[in-house]
Structure 1
């Protein structure tokens, strides 16, 4: 309670400073933690007039908790103060109820500031997307009007001989829904005849909310890239918790994922309840065993985890605990890693590599899905190898120094399986001059 009061006093002092600069009407009452404010939006990032406190559904966000209500009012005031200071804070219209709840759970002002910056970028992306959509719509309307005027002025004979869209054309238009049905039909065939691949969705508790959102986006990309491939996999999402942040965000990306006709297998149970342990192979980068070729009889498991903060080998520990076989991609064998963002790959990149190695059996072709920024260029890698080989030959040779245990009185050498011993006595030594005189 004392820390909360200090935080409120700090915000109030900042508000008084802004009031002196901008002559805004600010009223703050500390009695019973009531906070009222009304700011001018002169220096706000948003062009539209933002919501004030009354337009944010405080009761729905806090569920009637008085402490949370007070904290939310302080956060609302804090956000408005940061807007007036020129910070990257979005308008309240772009902050949803779930975002307010996440802001309430953040422990510090710096963490909330980073959250505001993230939401501000999202709001600007949304504004740009809406502006581009309206611009394209306007351009299309102008194009339609122009083509209509051209058709009115063209004689029927010339119109019939013009081979173009909206003129004489032998091909029917292929709509996006038709292409979508084609891709879904390929997945339905994969369910019957294709290779099964399991995605373990049981790591949502080990990830932060930001990591869960990123993981959901990667799962969406994985599904999209799998269904457009020549030979798609039969994907099975196991250990699914429908109330988790990961699956709820994935549901926003794929709203039809729970429909019976949708070609995606979602299981709340474990993969151990569906398949035998002898078939399962857990793909984890932390194990020692490398995957040399794609085994069509195996069922590979990919862990749905984004470990930007927690780098612990969770998939390795889980595979050992469940007694499963493990393997990793032979990345070090075929790639020369550079100074990129490490050796970690996204989930959609993993599936793309498996799809191509299953289709072609060529690792050099399959590993083209690894981002170029992570690996060294081929010519640079060749120069590195040549330089390292040259350094091996250019090393200075050290002079041999005999050990004190070596006896020079009894040395031997072996030549063509014949061993000769040179004795140390003077009488047995070879006289070179006498030998040359006798032989001459």
Structure 2
């Protein structure tokens, strides 16, 4: 019942005519959805069965016209596979109908709602319990959609600029060279730089130190956190191969069905190619390396990493814990009987008030790369964001009084009283 009331609460903020139009369109959608014809199913080009939206009698564009009477927006729902979302569950079907109406009412209210919502995004929306979660998620999708539009617009502008520059060269024939308009400078393509970096990783796979990314925390993350984790692993791979002496990177417990690996494949489509310079496996690190050489890096343990061990195999947990702050990596390391250590952040840094001490995966590997190369924690911890720590000139005054005797402090206090 609360799913019925939540979208209708929005309608009371609208004029009476708009509200009645919303109710009429909702009743029409309800009557049409109750007369489902599951036989009207067509096969998609990939072979999967996709049930068209027209088979349910839903016309969201007509519904938006009834709500606003002045809407020229495109249809926000694509050909949605309703069976894969609801599994022929009448409760989920009714919830999905109300979700369609809620999205359209939010759009007519002028909120940040994307024009096109994909199948996986509908599944994520229908799994959310509160309206605030759905509104935040829709605003997030709206931002992604606008970024893609701006990126496409920028590419078109760059293409027009290149065409205009080419026309300028055609007009000024004295600026062009012969033999295919070649220049005297050597041209480096992106593929050349890419091959150069990959060649360093291939050498690291033969001679460099091993480092492991534990990808077994997918069940403890939300879909948004898993996407963020996949992006951080992408940055981690990029920063590692750009270093002068990179690690040999292992992705262990990496199941292809996990959300983290699915998002990682979206960022790196050639991840599972045979010539891609990364070790990805579904096996555990206990099956690949000796147990006595493994050191699990977890921020919840007490032992600090004072000196970098060049013979150890360090493990980094691939987890983004924005909501779940449980010491999962500590519990796993204790359960497997592994040695544990944490980065000496509190020993070398002064944290600001209210700042989080959590670091991203790419920041952790940059710290390990620099401490291995230089042996200096002052240089390695420069990868910690400056916004999280207190600058040396802004530290509190009581820290400057450390080392003074009580008599000196009492003498300075008496001098201040005399000056007053």
Please say whether Structure 1 and Structure 2 have the same fold, judged by a TM-score greater than 0.5. Answer: yes
* Residue number among 65, 83, 98 corresponding to 1:40 in the alignment: 65
Deviation at 1:225, TM superposition (A): 0.5
Deviation at 1:112, TM superposition (A): 1.0
* Residue number among 125, 136, 149 corresponding to 2:147 in the alignment: 125
Looking at structure 1, the residues matched to 220 and 256 of structure 2 have their Cα atoms a distance apart, in angstroms, of 16
Deviation at 1:189, TM superposition (A): 0.3
Aligned to 2:106: 82
Looking at structure 1, the residues matched to 189 and 168 of structure 2 have their Cα atoms a distance apart, in angstroms, of 23
Looking at structure 2, the residues matched to 134 and 69 of structure 1 have their Cα atoms a distance apart, in angstroms, of 41
Aligned to 2:227: 213
Aligned to 2:96: 72
Deviates more, 1:113-122 or 1:184-193: 113-122
Looking at structure 1, the residues matched to 275 and 241 of structure 2 have their Cα atoms a distance apart, in angstroms, of 15
Q: What is the TM-score of this pair, normalised by structure 2?
A: 0.82
The answer (yes or no) to whether the contact 1:220–1:253 under 8 Å persists in 2 is yes
Who wins on radius of gyration, i.e. which is larger?
Answer: 1
The answer (yes or no) to whether the contact 1:25–1:39 under 8 Å persists in 2 is no
Looking at structure 1, the residues matched to 15 and 31 of structure 2 have their Cα atoms a distance apart, in angstroms, of 18
Deviation at 1:126, TM superposition (A): 1.2
Aligned to 2:159: 137
Looking at structure 1, the residues matched to 258 and 80 of structure 2 have their Cα atoms a distance apart, in angstroms, of 25
Aligned to 2:39: none
The answer (yes or no) to whether the contact 2:78–2:118 under 8 Å persists in 1 is no
The answer (yes or no) to whether the contact 1:342–1:374 under 8 Å persists in 2 is yes
| Structure with the larger RCO, 1 or 2 (CA within 8 Å, 6+ apart) | 2
Looking at structure 2, the residues matched to 351 and 270 of structure 1 have their Cα atoms a distance apart, in angstroms, of 20
Deviates more, 1:386-395 or 1:369-378: 386-395
Deviations 1:292-347 (A, max 9, x none): 11111111010111111111111111111111111111111211111363111100
Aligned to 1:116: 138
Deviation at 1:102, TM superposition (A): 0.5
Aligned to 1:146: 168
The answer (yes or no) to whether the contact 2:4–2:98 under 8 Å persists in 1 is no
Q: What is the TM-score of this pair, normalised by structure 1?
A: 0.79
Aligned to 2:300: 286
Unmatched tracts of structure 1, length 5 or more: 398-440
Q: Structure 1 residues 21 and 130 mapped into 2: Cα distance closer, same or farther (>3 Å)? A: farther
Deviation at 1:385, TM superposition (A): 2.6
The answer (yes or no) to whether the contact 2:293–2:313 under 8 Å persists in 1 is yes
The answer as to 2:394 corresponding to 1:394 is no
The answer as to 2:289 corresponding to 1:265 is no
Secondary structure, counterpart of 1:40 in structure 2: helix
Looking at structure 2, the residues matched to 282 and 139 of structure 1 have their Cα atoms a distance apart, in angstroms, of 52
Looking at structure 2, the residues matched to 17 and 310 of structure 1 have their Cα atoms a distance apart, in angstroms, of 44
Secondary structure, counterpart of 1:243 in structure 2: coil
The answer as to 2:123 corresponding to 1:101 is yes
Deviations 1:18-61 (A, max 9, x none): 626999984624558657652239989xx973216685443454
Provide the aligned C-alpha RMSD in A.
3.1
The answer (yes or no) to whether the contact 1:14–1:81 under 8 Å persists in 2 is no
Secondary structure, counterpart of 1:28 in structure 2: helix
The answer (yes or no) to whether the contact 2:21–2:66 under 8 Å persists in 1 is no
Secondary structure, counterpart of 2:395 in structure 1: helix
Looking at structure 1, the residues matched to 66 and 249 of structure 2 have their Cα atoms a distance apart, in angstroms, of 50
Looking at structure 2, the residues matched to 32 and 23 of structure 1 have their Cα atoms a distance apart, in angstroms, of 15
The answer (yes or no) to whether the contact 1:15–1:26 under 8 Å persists in 2 is no
* Count of residues in correspondence between the two structures: 383
Deviation at 1:391, TM superposition (A): 9.7
Aligned to 1:243: 257
Q: Structure 1 residues 41 and 386 mapped into 2: Cα distance closer, same or farther (>3 Å)? A: farther
The answer (yes or no) to whether the contact 2:214–2:315 under 8 Å persists in 1 is yes
Aligned to 1:402: none
Looking at structure 2, the residues matched to 250 and 193 of structure 1 have their Cα atoms a distance apart, in angstroms, of 26
Deviation at 1:129, TM superposition (A): 1.1
Looking at structure 2, the residues matched to 12 and 382 of structure 1 have their Cα atoms a distance apart, in angstroms, of 53
Looking at structure 2, the residues matched to 337 and 349 of structure 1 have their Cα atoms a distance apart, in angstroms, of 16
Aligned to 1:180: 194
Looking at structure 2, the residues matched to 42 and 387 of structure 1 have their Cα atoms a distance apart, in angstroms, of 69
The answer (yes or no) to whether the contact 2:7–2:101 under 8 Å persists in 1 is no
The answer (yes or no) to whether the contact 2:6–2:131 under 8 Å persists in 1 is no
Looking at structure 2, the residues matched to 9 and 380 of structure 1 have their Cα atoms a distance apart, in angstroms, of 52
Unmatched tracts of structure 2, length 5 or more: 35-57, 413-420
Deviation at 1:227, TM superposition (A): 0.5
* Residue number among 289, 310, 318 corresponding to 1:304 in the alignment: 318
